[in-house]
Amino acid sequence: MTAACARLGLSMALVLVHGQKGPKLQGNLLLDRLMGADVTIVDIDTIEKLQPLIDRRAEELRRQGRKVYVVEPLGLQSNVLGSLGYVAATLELVDQMEATGHAFHELWQCGVNMQPAGLVLGLAALGSSTELRTVTSIRWSKPRDVDIADIANATAAHLGIATRVTPGQVNATDAYIGPGYGILTPEAREALLLCARTEGLILDPVYTAKAMAGLIDAIRRGRIGRDRRVIFLHSGGTPALFAYAEDLGLG
């Protein structure tokens, strides 16, 4: 988003949640600063407390004479707009699945709102038998599967389609978050190293490594057998990896 604003000549003001790395100038924070973002880092225990802090920063900018557009992380409408991209991504994904001539049983990814909402809606609208498995990266007071289903259904209404989804189709779990957002868990570290050293696949400690940890755990527990075809959606985040060199213990 910061890169898009830089390209369009817009100023970006970010209110970011204090993760394990705090205000250290590395990873994604380094890129935000590099592209000229105005960054405020806050320390909160649940994401629901973020919106008032964003609103406060927006009001400060308005008093400075700036015209402000707030991209609300908790606003249903902004989540709907964001999920549209993942509906389109699902169309592309299903086309690719059909091109292989194989049925895929599960789609694993890490997300908390827009991403899983778009994916589950896209799969349902296309009548795909592929089941979504959502690993969340941050805890909310409201169950994620309920909130994600609400976003998916609001997106369906926005698109004017009759498809609706239930929380059960989201299959969301927060079992792999660990102590908190952005904190590398032993399971995520293992998944990150395993993928790098066997596939050359680079994960990040905040999102994709935790989703892969969930997938590996499901395989080890025997819930996913050799007869199951699984897709893992890599949603980016690689720059964050470079902020975790010490945590990975590779020196």
Task: Return the residue matching tokens 């976003």.
Answer: 151
- Residue 43 near residue 51 (C-beta atoms within 8 A): no
pLDDT-derived band at 72, boundaries 50, 70, 90: low
Q: Please state the rounded mean pLDDT for residues 184-203.
A: 96
pTM of the model: 0.84
**Which string of b and e fits 74-108 if b means at least 16 CB within 10 Å?**
eeeeebbebbbebbebbeebbeebeeeeeebebbb
pLDDT of res. 23? 56
| Single-letter amino acid, residue 217 | D
pLDDT digit string (tens) for 7-58?
999 999 998 876 555 556 777 788 888 999 999 888 776 677 888 888 999 9
Domain residue ranges in the chain: 2-63, 76-248
Distance, CA of 10 to CA of 78 (rounded, Å) = 18
Beta-ladder partners of 133: 108
Q: Please state the rounded mean pLDDT for residues 172-192.
A: 93
Cα first-last separation, the chain? 33
> Comparing 107 with 236, which gets the higher pLDDT?
107
The answer, yes or no, to whether residue 246 has pLDDT greater than 80, is yes
pLDDT digit string (tens) for 231-242?
999 998 888 888
pLDDT of res. 141? 76
**% of the chain at pLDDT higher than 90:** 63
The answer, yes or no, to whether residue 177 has pLDDT greater than 70, is yes
pLDDT of res. 70? 87
Q: How far is CA 89 from CA 25, 94, 132, in A?
A: 32, 9, 14
Architecture of domain 76-248: 3-Layer(aba) Sandwich (3.40)
pLDDT of res. 78? 78
pLDDT of res. 102? 85
Q: Give the tokens for residue 71.
A: 């991209």
Beta-ladder partners of 249: none
The answer, yes or no, to whether residue 60 has pLDDT greater than 90, is yes
pLDDT-derived band at 67, boundaries 50, 70, 90: very high
User: Of 42-56, 57-71, 198-212, 231-245, where does mean pLDDT reach its minimum?
Assistant: 42-56
